[in-house]
Chains A and B, each alone.
Chain A
Amino acid sequence: MDFALSAEQQQIRDMVSEFVDEEIVPVADEIDHEDEFPQDLVDEMADLGLMGMPFPEEYGGAGLDYHSYAIGLEEISRGSGGLGTVVAAHTSLAGNMLYEFGDDAQLEEYLTPLAAGEDVGAFALSEAGAGSDVPAMETMAEKDGDEYVINGGKLWISNGSVADTVTVFAKTDPEAGNKGISSFVVRPEEDDGFIVENTEEKLGDKGCPTAELRFDDLRIPEDRLLGAEGDGFVQALKTLNGGRITIAARSIGIARAAFDEARDYAGEREQFGQPIGEFQSIKHKLADMDTKIQAARMLMHKAADKKIRGENFIKDSAQAKLYASEISREVANEGIQIHGGYGYTKDFPAERFYRDAKLNEIYEGTSEVLRNTIGDQLLDN
């Protein structure tokens, strides 16, 4: 059992960390305040390979193993939670849908520009009436000659308003329950009938636009179908399993940012004639915060390890995401507490970490659904 990073993984972490400290951290507050998609940063990240981390070089990616990808995403999220979601949704969801289920022509045409960061990707599964209950979706795709016609709408779609490629789930057989769902590649720029209705005003996760989409007789050629008709539900579950490793990474990155700020503050802030970090009550908080971060990180790497080995990692990624997301909120909460009144103001980033962390417990499987997933795995085996 080896817990050390390889030389290559260390270099990747160091490079991304330096990029984050110099390019992302200085503008993180502005991203949070403006809530605009940070296109310039995304372009810079594309040049470095950060928009296609886990995909093979032949498809424009950086060819990283899943540990390195998680490390990269953890660092990016340490700088900006919103940017962490941009990259995670683009890569783990949209990118992996194409990589895992696309045919050669689809890989060439849609994955390659995505992995190179020329295109931005989004994954459109949730609907107003279909969140955790995926088969309740109402979006329909009807075959018409050599085309599909999609009608319906999607909600809470990260990157949805800026994406060049959206993987859309729709029912091709409304009578077949979860076996009647299929997935398609939709190209907002070229496909008529793709409408961005709105973007949400959110508690946190600023900079990543969360869009409401509507499809109004959206016509696409039949070669946009990913895999076979009826595969969509299983594709979504498989993709979300991998995605959870990177939401764990986002959680850990935000928790680390909250911890770093709190530790620095505890060393500088003096009350009763000494730095507050020397009081046991604060020192113990810091100890708990770091212990939780270290434990979450191990769960994340364990899930990544099993994924790399090709073993079943459903339980592991659910546990990593569940635990990391909950401790990210707890650590960010203690970060505010250590800052006292200052932590509750916008003069310090502590409150941003808290707002960004909360989302981890909701998207890509709520804590409640993940406990079901974990429980099912425990009882089935």
Chain B
Amino acid sequence: MKILVTVKEVATVEDEFEIEGTEIADQYLGADLNEWDDYAVEEAVQLQEAGVADEVVTVTIGPEDCEQTIRQALAKGADRAVRVWDDSLEGVDLLDVNAKTEILSAVVEEEDPDLILTGVQAGDDSFGATGVSLAEEVGYQWGAVVNHLEHEFDGDVASVRRELEGGVEELTDIELPAALTIQTGINEPRYASLRGIRQAQRKELDVKNLADLDVDESAVDSDLELTDMYEPESESDVTVWEGSADDTAAELGELLRDKGVAP
């Protein structure tokens, strides 16, 4: 089985920051491997160690700067990486789901994986749609918000547990080829070993532009426009009651009902 894992370098933000226009100012930003993708990589590497997967390939849309982040995934055990970048992507503020879907689906056609693992979402722009959108585009089955994957595959069927709202979970059998969006907590991502880091520097990292993938530059155009970014104002308020619990519990109950916290 061949597994393709989408890996994104996301912007990380310091606790204190300032917004300039529709962006957080550069000096408050760092970069790291997307947290959800870290779990997806770990799941793929575990499948390889269990003898289920033969090859784990990562795919990233991003400039050369993000290669160190890609190598983190290689250091943890992915076999090789594909990085897609193009001059036409250089000035794009917001790469929307449609554009990512079109680019990644071209990579899926080339790689022809049996299983695609993506993070549920990216920590910075949080569309939470790329995995499912990609599956739809390439005609794969999908499972979203997967928090357990059986490592024993029954033929071409992946048995997954999905996290629903309100603490409900469901078990689903999904026929391969499929895309699964991986939730944090599905495993415990490893630290890369020193040997892994050294080997990663020598692993294949293939760079492709849109023409290499037969993707038209118009794919990058977006109907979405980021119009504003702001920090929502939060209010805090404290009420203190003096006296014993017997006297004040009822008052607390009333307040909670007033605020809509208790029914």
Seen from chain A, the residues whose Cβ lies within 8 Å of a Cβ on chain B are: 7-8, 10-12, 15, 18-19, 47-50, 53, 57, 62-64, 72
B245 at the interface (CB under 8 A from A): no
Seen from chain B, the residues whose Cβ lies within 8 Å of a Cβ on chain A are: 67-68, 71-72, 75, 191-195, 197-198, 200-201
In Å, the complex CA distance between A62 and B197 comes to 10
> When the two chains form their complex, are residues B68 and A10 in contact, meaning their CB atoms are under 8 A apart?
yes
> When the two chains form their complex, are residues B195 and A15 in contact, meaning their CB atoms are under 8 A apart?
no
> When the two chains form their complex, are residues A15 and B192 in contact, meaning their CB atoms are under 8 A apart?
yes
> When the two chains form their complex, are residues B198 and A63 in contact, meaning their CB atoms are under 8 A apart?
yes
**Nearest Cβ on chain A to B197's Cβ, whole angstroms:** 5
In Å, the complex CA distance between A49 and B194 comes to 6
Inside 8 A of B75's CB, which chain A residues have their CB?
11, 15
Specify which of A10, A18, A48 is in contact with B194 (CB 8 Å cutoff).
A48
> When the two chains form their complex, are residues A63 and B71 in contact, meaning their CB atoms are under 8 A apart?
no
In Å, the complex CA distance between A233 and B67 comes to 48
> When the two chains form their complex, are residues B201 and A7 in contact, meaning their CB atoms are under 8 A apart?
yes
Inside 8 A of A19's CB, which chain B residues have their CB?
191
> When the two chains form their complex, are residues B191 and A18 in contact, meaning their CB atoms are under 8 A apart?
yes
A62-B198, A63-B198 given as contacts; is B71 within 8 A of A11 (CB)? Answer: yes
> When the two chains form their complex, are residues B193 and A47 in contact, meaning their CB atoms are under 8 A apart?
yes
In Å, the complex CA distance between A49 and B68 comes to 20
Specify which of A7, A11, A62, A72 is in contact with B195 (CB 8 Å cutoff).
A62
In Å, the complex CA distance between A15 and B195 comes to 12
Inside 8 A of B195's CB, which chain A residues have their CB?
49, 57, 62-63
| Identity of the chain B residue whose Cβ is nearest the Cβ of A53 in the assembled complex | B194
- Lowest 6 CB-CB distances: which A-B pairs, in order? A49-B194, A62-B194, A48-B193, A11-B197, A49-B193, A8-B201
In Å, the complex CA distance between A117 and B192 comes to 17
> When the two chains form their complex, are residues A48 and B191 in contact, meaning their CB atoms are under 8 A apart?
yes
A8-B198, A62-B198 given as contacts; is B191 within 8 A of A15 (CB)? Answer: yes
> When the two chains form their complex, are residues B193 and A12 in contact, meaning their CB atoms are under 8 A apart?
no
Chain A CB within 10 A, most for which of B68, B71, B193, B194 = B194
In Å, the complex CA distance between A63 and B201 comes to 13
> When the two chains form their complex, are residues B197 and A12 in contact, meaning their CB atoms are under 8 A apart?
yes
**Nearest Cβ on chain A to B207's Cβ, whole angstroms:** 16
In Å, the complex CA distance between A50 and B71 comes to 19
> When the two chains form their complex, are residues A7 and B192 in contact, meaning their CB atoms are under 8 A apart?
no
In Å, the complex CA distance between A50 and B195 comes to 10
Task: Give the secondary structure class of B's interface.
Answer: helix
In Å, the complex CA distance between A8 and B194 comes to 10
| Identity of the chain B residue whose Cβ is nearest the Cβ of A62 in the assembled complex | B194
Inside 8 A of A48's CB, which chain B residues have their CB?
191-194
| Identity of the chain A residue whose Cβ is nearest the Cβ of B192 in the assembled complex | A15
Inside 8 A of A7's CB, which chain B residues have their CB?
67-68, 71, 201
Inside 8 A of B67's CB, which chain A residues have their CB?
7
Inside 8 A of B194's CB, which chain A residues have their CB?
12, 15, 48-50, 53, 62-64, 72
**Nearest Cβ on chain B to A300's Cβ, whole angstroms:** 19
**Nearest Cβ on chain A to B146's Cβ, whole angstroms:** 25
Chain A CB within 10 A, most for which of B71, B75, B192 = B192
Inside 8 A of B68's CB, which chain A residues have their CB?
7, 10-11
In Å, the complex CA distance between A199 and B198 comes to 38
**Nearest Cβ on chain A to B21's Cβ, whole angstroms:** 28
In Å, the complex CA distance between A15 and B74 comes to 13
Inside 8 A of B192's CB, which chain A residues have their CB?
11, 15, 48
In Å, the complex CA distance between A50 and B8 comes to 28
> When the two chains form their complex, are residues A15 and B197 in contact, meaning their CB atoms are under 8 A apart?
yes
In Å, the complex CA distance between A57 and B193 comes to 13
- Extra contacts, 7 of them, besides A11-B197, A62-B193 (Cβ < 8 A), are A8-B198, A8-B201, A11-B71, A15-B191, A50-B194, A62-B195, A64-B194
In Å, the complex CA distance between A11 and B74 comes to 12
In Å, the complex CA distance between A33 and B51 comes to 44
In Å, the complex CA distance between A53 and B195 comes to 9
In Å, the complex CA distance between A11 and B67 comes to 11
**Nearest Cβ on chain B to A142's Cβ, whole angstroms:** 42
**Nearest Cβ on chain A to B188's Cβ, whole angstroms:** 11
| Identity of the chain A residue whose Cβ is nearest the Cβ of B76 in the assembled complex | A15
Chain B CB within 10 A, most for which of A8, A57, A62, A64 = A8
In Å, the complex CA distance between A15 and B196 comes to 11
> When the two chains form their complex, are residues A11 and B200 in contact, meaning their CB atoms are under 8 A apart?
yes
Chain B CB within 10 A, most for which of A11, A15, A18 = A11
In Å, the complex CA distance between A53 and B194 comes to 8
In Å, the complex CA distance between A283 and B117 comes to 49
**Nearest Cβ on chain A to B68's Cβ, whole angstroms:** 6
15 pairs from A and B in contact (CB 8 Å cutoff): A7-B68, A8-B197, A8-B198, A8-B201, A11-B68, A11-B75, A18-B191, A19-B191, A49-B194, A49-B195, A50-B194, A62-B198, A63-B195, A64-B194, A64-B198
> When the two chains form their complex, are residues B193 and A11 in contact, meaning their CB atoms are under 8 A apart?
no
Inside 8 A of A11's CB, which chain B residues have their CB?
68, 71-72, 75, 192, 197, 200
In Å, the complex CA distance between A349 and B193 comes to 29
**Nearest Cβ on chain A to B225's Cβ, whole angstroms:** 35
